[in-house]
Structures are given as C-alpha cells and as structure tokens.
C-alpha cells in the first residue's frame, strides 16, 4: 500500500469503523426487541410450551433436525411440522412415541426417547407454537 | 525459541492435533450415517456423533488459539509469559473438562447428562454448538478469563505491538460474546437471535482478529517484511472484517421471526464480508513476494498462503453464494450451508492453527528454525491431501445442496425431505470418499512430526 495511506489512518479506520457499526448494530438490536412482539408469537408461550422447549433441548433434537432452518441437516425441518402433519399435535406425538428402539435396518431412524405423556404433549405444543411464528413466509413450501 | 515460557504452547498444540483426529473420525462416522442410516444405531446416533464432531472442532481450535497466543505473545512482548504455571494448570483444566464432556455425550443419553449436570438450574444445553453442560460452560469462562489475564499481564509488562493488541481485542471479544451462551429465554425467537451473538460474532467477527494477528505474526517472521507494512495491512483487514461482519450478523435474521428489514441489512453487509478475506489473500501473497529472505520453514509459508486462499474461498465465496436473502430463502438450512461451513472452518480456522503449529513446532522441539527437508516434504503432502479433499467435500456437498434446494424447495412439485435425501446418496458417498482421503492426509500430517528428527535443517 502506498506511503500516503499511513498506518495510523488504517488504525483510525479500524477503531472508528468498528465502533460506528457496532453502535449501529446495537440500535438495530434495540429496534428489533421492540418489534418482536408482533412476529414472535409470544402470546402462545405457555408453561407447557416452555417445558416443551426444555424437552426439545434436553433431547438434543437440533442434533439432527433444523428448526426454522437452523440446526443439523440430517432430518426434516420441524418449524412447520405441525402444519405438515395437518395441524395435529396428536400426529406429532404419535410419530415420536412410535419410533422403534433398534432403528430401521439400513435407514435413518429417530431414536426412541421414552418421553412421558406430559413431555410428549409439551414438545408437541412447543412445535405448534414454533409453527405460528412469523418467519416471512419461510420455508417456501410445506416440505420444509 | 527466544523465551523459555513459550514452551507452554507445546502441550496446547499437541492436544489440538489429538482432538482434531477425534473430530475427523466422528465426521467419517456421520458421513457414513448419511448413506447407511442405521450405522452404529442406537449406540452412537447421528446427533451424538455430530455433537462430538462440532464440539471437538471448537475445542481444538480454542486449544490452537491459546497455544498460538502463548507462543507469540512473549516473543512480541519481548518478555517471559506472566505465569507459565497458570498456563499449564489451565491446560489440564480445559483438557479434562473437555474430555469429560465428550465422554458424557458418548456414554449417557443426552437427557441424562442434562439431568446429572443440573441443567434445569440454568438451562443452556441443547442448542447447536452450545450443547455443553452448563458447568462445562462455566469452566470455559474460567479458563478463558485465566488465559486472558495471563496474556494481558504479559502484554502490559512488555513491548506493545499491533499484533498483540489485535490478538488481545479478539480474545476479549471471544470471552465477552461467549457470555450470551448463558442467555436462553423461553421465547424461541429471542433464543435464536442472541445465540448468533456467540456463533456469528465469533466466527465472522472477533475470531477474524485472532486469525489476522496470527497470520501477520507468521508472515513477519517468515518473510522479513517490515513490521510497519504488515501492521498497516492487518489494521485494514480487521477494519473491513468488523465493518462488514457486525451488521452482517443480519444474514441470520432473515427467517427466524425477526423483522423483515434484516433482509436488507443482512444481505448488503454480508455481501461485503468476502472483502476482508480477499484482502487477506492479496496481503499474504504480496508479503511473500516482497520477502527479504527465504525462511527455511517452507511448510509454514505454504500453510500461511493456504489459509488466506482457503479462507477466502470457504468463508468468502461459499458464504456469498447463499447470503443474499432471495437466494437464502431457498437454500437456508440445506447441504449448501453444510458445504460452506466445512470449507470456511477448515480454510480460516483449522488452517491458521496448523500454520502457527507448523511455524512454532520446530522451535518448540529444540530446532533452530525449521524441520528437516524430509519432514517438510511430508507435511506439504499432508497440506495438499487435506486441502484438496476438503475442496472436494465442499463441491460434493454443494452439488447435493443445489439438488436438494431444487427438489425440495424450488420445483413446482416439492418432494419430502427424506425422499430427496435418498436421491442424493451418490454425492454423500463421494463426500465420504473425500473424507477418507482427508483422514489419510491428517495421518501423514502427524507422521511428519516423527520423521527426519536427526537430520539437518534445510538451508
């Protein structure tokens, strides 16, 4: 780089630029916080949904599935599974409960997590809540 | 080695390489599970293998960063490390905590691990990359604080250089943003939103500062180019990294329940994120071209140049490919993401750690500046085997991702996820073959440490 562009100019761009854009980021974060109630479906967060999130987390569901497109890419997207299963929490529960312990020969299979009825209800309610978050129309279709 | 205390870097580097081997083995297990669905089921289900694969990656990179800091900070500061004992103690704390966590993943069901580690007291588990039990996370914070204290005290008492300053800013940022790992609200959107404060602001933010300073250090040492020139480049690169990367976080906020304006902010700023990586490539090649001497450690120079190129390709080009919101609408959470993740992590962070190991290890082993020619040839073979096979892993995953995006998302007649996965088998097999070649490269990399030890250094 040329002599007219000095190290102290580069340093000032680093400090000034990072500071400015970090503050701009903070402004956007605060604005997002105030806008979230309109899109994050928080009214639907009951105690059961909160428990469902715990069940989701403590069984590491994200280790295979995506949820709103984030997670692992080994198993189907679950952000819209409630809708894909015909708006039925019962279908979700039935699927989870019926996984064979030893798996399916040669194929990917979800483990049997031995969830209680209460846990099954909770995780199904959690997935229903997730499916009603405003995700700007993502995913493009019901297949997730 | 100019300072005695630099020697504490050695166990960190050895641990990093050991955990790297584990990471690759579990990667191969997962790759096989993609095509033979019941492989090792139910003993090691995919989610467990993935947790081990990604967590080992994070831990070995952190070991590498810490080793790098312990090696280069005394030399830059021109004084001994504040406390080599503390560094060694933290090494064992981190290694034991890491090993126990991995064993926990493998030996008990995850729900049981959550229960016995008291996750319900402060629930932080079960989120991608942050699967560690809460007590492990607290351990990470303690190790990080002790480490930064040690490095910070050394920097304070010695010569202050731009390299140590940038490294320190990067390390403090790493520790600060990790604190968001403890914030896990019931509100899924908020959980996801702040989760990225750890994940994105690490890998597309402060880690780039650490990467830049390690690269600058190795280039100063191996090319003999004037420090002033290199430091100026470093400032420009990290300025661009943060100016684009901070608001660039917005490219994760397109479809997770956040306001739609993030599609504009995220697309525009993250589209500029390749710039610092491009600058890094220009920088590395320029410095090597303007070198004032031929350093005998040619393998280290190769790693340095390779890091710059592969970071640009993996993080820059493959990131740009799916970062614009209208494209990401279709590719979000597909094998395209996996392709990008693999080459970006290898190119930027795995390779920078191997760069500093390549540069420092000969001295840590008591040699003057470099390994024997025999050892370097082997190391360069491993460089090409690992790098080329990673390019192919990325290409096969990209092909799979394009097809997946089309069949599952783009066509008028979208197919179910599992249906599509079945159609992608060929590409997953090819990826697995490339993965085996990567492992062979890694074995050769380790062999290079053990050959030609009693032979003289190259002129």
Gap from B105 CA to chain A (nearest CA, Å): 11
Instruction: Give yes or no for residue B443 having a pLDDT over 60.
Output: yes
Residues B376, B389: Cα–Cα separation, whole Å: 20
* Contact (Cβ atoms closer than 8 angstroms) between residue B297 and residue B359: yes
Give the mean pLDDT of A44-61: 98
Q: What is the pLDDT of residues B109-120, one digit of tens each?
A: 999 999 999 999
Give the mean pLDDT of A49-71: 98
Residues B325, B254: Cα–Cα separation, whole Å: 7
B45: nearest CA partner in chain A = A111
Residues B272, B252: Cα–Cα separation, whole Å: 15
Instruction: Give yes or no for residue A131 having a pLDDT over 70.
Output: yes
Contact A14 B242 (CB under 8 A): yes
Which residue stretches of B39-187 are H helix?
46-77, 84-107, 110-116, 134-157, 162-178
* CB contact B267 to A (< 8 Å): no
* CB contact B392 to A (< 8 Å): no
Instruction: Give yes or no for residue B99 having a pLDDT over 90.
Output: yes
Contact A104 B37 (CB under 8 A): yes
* Contact (Cβ atoms closer than 8 angstroms) between residue B84 and residue B150: no
Q: What is the pLDDT of residues B166-211, one digit of tens each?
A: 999 999 999 999 999 999 999 999 999 999 999 999 999 999 999 9
Q: Strand, coil or helix: what is B457?
A: strand
Give the mean pLDDT of B136-161: 98
Q: What is the pLDDT of residue B458?
A: 64
Query: Which tokens belong to B258?
Result: 């956040």
Q: Which of A32, A59, A143 is opposite residue B408, by nearest beta carbon?
A: A143
* Contact (Cβ atoms closer than 8 angstroms) between residue B375 and residue B423: no
Instruction: Give yes or no for residue A2 having a pLDDT over 80.
Output: no
Contact A68 B256 (CB under 8 A): yes
Q: Which of B111, B184, B409 is opposite residue A141, by nearest beta carbon?
A: B409
What value does the mean pLDDT of chain B take?
A: 97
Contact B51 A42 (CB under 8 A): no
Q: What is the pLDDT of residue B228?
A: 96
Give the mean pLDDT of A40-53: 98
Chain A residues within an 8 Å CB radius of B327: none
State the CB neighbour count (10 A cutoff) for residue B39.
19
A20: nearest CA partner in chain B = B243
Chain B residues within an 8 Å CB radius of A10: 232-233, 235-236, 239
Query: What is the dihedral angle through the alpha carbons of B234, B235, B237, B240, rounded to the nearest 10 degrees?
Result: 170
Query: Which tokens belong to A104?
Result: 């399916």
Q: Which residue has the tokens 């820059």?
A: B316
Chain B residues within an 8 Å CB radius of A71: 128, 333
Beta carbons within 8 Å of B10's beta carbon, 6+ residues apart: B67, B361, B364
Beta carbons within 8 Å of B433's beta carbon, 6+ residues apart: none
Q: What is the pLDDT of residues B325-360, one digit of tens each?
A: 999 999 999 999 999 999 999 999 999 999 999 999
Contact A45 B186 (CB under 8 A): yes
* Contact (Cβ atoms closer than 8 angstroms) between residue A42 and residue A36: yes
The domain made up of A42-144 is a member of CATH 1.10.760.10: yes
Gap from A139 CA to chain B (nearest CA, Å): 7
Q: What percent of chain B has pLDDT over 70?
A: 100
Q: What is the pLDDT of residue B65?
A: 98
Chain A residues within an 8 Å CB radius of B330: 140
Angle between helices B274-289 and B207-223 (to 10 degrees): 10
Most B CBs within 10 Å, among A3, A5, A6, A7, to test the B interface: A7
* CB contact B128 to A (< 8 Å): yes
Q: Which residue has the tokens 């979000």?
A: B332
Give the mean pLDDT of B10-37: 98
Q: What is the pLDDT of residue B459?
A: 55
Q: Which of B33, B115, B186 is opposite residue A53, by nearest beta carbon?
A: B186
Q: What is the pLDDT of residue A50?
A: 98
Q: What is the pLDDT of residue A3?
A: 73
Tell me the backbone φ, ψ of residue A70, rounded to 5 degrees.
-110, 140
Give the mean pLDDT of A37-43: 97
Residues B424, B324: Cα–Cα separation, whole Å: 25
A40: nearest CA partner in chain B = B257
Gap from B242 CA to chain A (nearest CA, Å): 6
Give the mean pLDDT of A8-21: 98
Structure confidence at residue B70 as a pLDDT band (50, 70, 90): very high
Q: Which of B114, B125, B242 is opposite residue A18, by nearest beta carbon?
A: B242
* CB contact B229 to A (< 8 Å): yes
Chain B residues within an 8 Å CB radius of A138: 254-255, 329, 332
Tell me the backbone φ, ψ of residue B173, rounded to 5 degrees.
-60, -40
Angle between helices B84-107 and B134-157 (to 10 degrees): 160
Q: Which residue has the tokens 């009603």?
A: A132
Structure confidence at residue B455 as a pLDDT band (50, 70, 90): confident
Chain B residues within an 8 Å CB radius of A82: none
Contact A57 B126 (CB under 8 A): yes
Residues B319, A56: Cα–Cα separation, whole Å: 29
Chain B residues within an 8 Å CB radius of A103: 37-38, 41-42
Gap from A117 CA to chain B (nearest CA, Å): 16
Give the mean pLDDT of B5-15: 98
Tell me the backbone φ, ψ of residue A88, rounded to 5 degrees.
-130, 115
Query: Which tokens belong to B4?
Result: 């005695």
ipTM higher than 0.95?
yes
Q: What is the pLDDT of residues B391-433, one digit of tens each?
A: 999 999 999 999 999 999 999 999 999 999 999 999 999 999 9
Instruction: Give yes or no for residue B281 having a pLDDT over 90.
Output: yes
Contact A60 B250 (CB under 8 A): no
Most B CBs within 10 Å, among A12, A14, A64, to test the B interface: A14
A-proximal residues of B, 147-206, CB under 8 Å: 162, 184, 186-193
Q: What is the pLDDT of residue B68?
A: 98
């Amino acid at each position: 780089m040329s002599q007219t562009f000095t190290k102290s100019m580069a340093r000032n761009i680093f400090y000034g630029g990072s500071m400015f854009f970090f503050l701009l980021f903070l402004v956007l974060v605060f604005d997002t916080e105030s806008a979230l109630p309109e899109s994050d479906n928080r009214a639907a967060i009951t105690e059961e949904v909160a428990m469902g999130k715990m069940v989701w987390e403590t069984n590491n569901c994200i280790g295979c599935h995506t949820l709103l497109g984030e997670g692992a890419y080994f198993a189907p997207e679950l952000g819209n599974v409630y809708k894909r299963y015909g708006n039925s929490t019962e279908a979700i529960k039935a699927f989870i409960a019926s996984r064979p312990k030893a798996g399916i020969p040669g194929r990917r299979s979800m483990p049997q997590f031995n969830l209680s009825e209460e846990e099954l209800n909770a995780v199904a309610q959690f997935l229903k809540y997730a499916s009603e978050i405003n995700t700007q129309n993502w995913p493009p279709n019901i297949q997730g | 080695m100019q300072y005695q205390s630099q020697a504490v870097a050695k166990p960190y580097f050895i641990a990093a390489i050991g955990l790297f081997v584990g990471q690759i083995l579990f990667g191969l297990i997962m790759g096989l599970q993609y095509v033979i669905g019941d492989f090792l089921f139910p003993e090691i289900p995919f989610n467990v293998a993935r947790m081990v694969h990604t967590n080992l990656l994070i831990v070995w990179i952190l070991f590498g960063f810490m080793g790098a800091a312990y090696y280069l900070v005394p030399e830059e500061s021109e004084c001994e490390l504040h406390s080599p004992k503390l560094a060694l103690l933290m090494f064992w704390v981190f290694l034991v905590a890491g090993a126990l966590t991995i064993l926990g993943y493998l030996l008990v069901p995850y729900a049981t691990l959550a229960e016995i580690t008291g996750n319900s007291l402060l629930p932080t588990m079960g989120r991608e990359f942050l699967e560690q039990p809460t007590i492990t996370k607290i351990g990470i914070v303690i190790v990080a604080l002790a480490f930064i204290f040690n490095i910070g005290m050394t920097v304070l008492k010695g010569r202050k250089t731009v390299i140590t300053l940038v490294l320190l800013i990067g390390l403090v940022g790493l520790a600060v943003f990790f604190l968001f790992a403890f914030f896990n609200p019931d509100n899924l959107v908020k959980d996801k939103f702040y989760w990225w404060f750890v994940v994105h602001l690490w890998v597309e933010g402060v880690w780039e500062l650490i990467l830049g300073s390690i690269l600058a250090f190795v280039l100063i040492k191996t090319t003999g180019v004037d420090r002033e020139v290199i430091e100026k480049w470093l400032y420009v690169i990290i300025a661009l990294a943060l100016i684009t990367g901070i608001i660039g976080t917005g490219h994760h906020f397109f479809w997770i329940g956040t306001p739609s304006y993030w599609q504009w902010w995220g697309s525009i700023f993250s589209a500029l994120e390749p710039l610092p990586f491009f600058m890094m490539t220009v920088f590395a090649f320029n410095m090597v071209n303007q070198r004032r001497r031929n350093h005998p450690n040619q393998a280290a120079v190769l790693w340095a140049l390779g890091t710059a190129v592969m970071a640009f390709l993996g993080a820059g080009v493959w990131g740009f490919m799916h970062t614009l919101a209208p494209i990401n609408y279709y590719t979000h959470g597909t094998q395209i993401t996996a392709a990008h993740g693999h080459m970006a992590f290898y190119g930027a962070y795995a390779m920078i750690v191997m760069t500093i190991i390549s540069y420092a290890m000969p001295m840590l082993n008591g040699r003057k500046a470099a390994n024997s020619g025999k050892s370097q040839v082997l190391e360069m073979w491993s460089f090409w085997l690992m790098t080329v096979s990673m390019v192919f892993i990325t290409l096969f995953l990209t092909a799979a991702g394009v097809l997946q995006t089309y069949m599952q998302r783009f066509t008028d007649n979208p197919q179910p996820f599992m249906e599509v996965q079945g159609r992608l088998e060929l590409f997953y097999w090819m990826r697995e073959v490339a993965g085996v070649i990567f492992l062979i490269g890694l074995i050769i990399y380790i062999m290079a440490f053990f050959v030609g030890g009693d032979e003289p250094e190259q002129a």
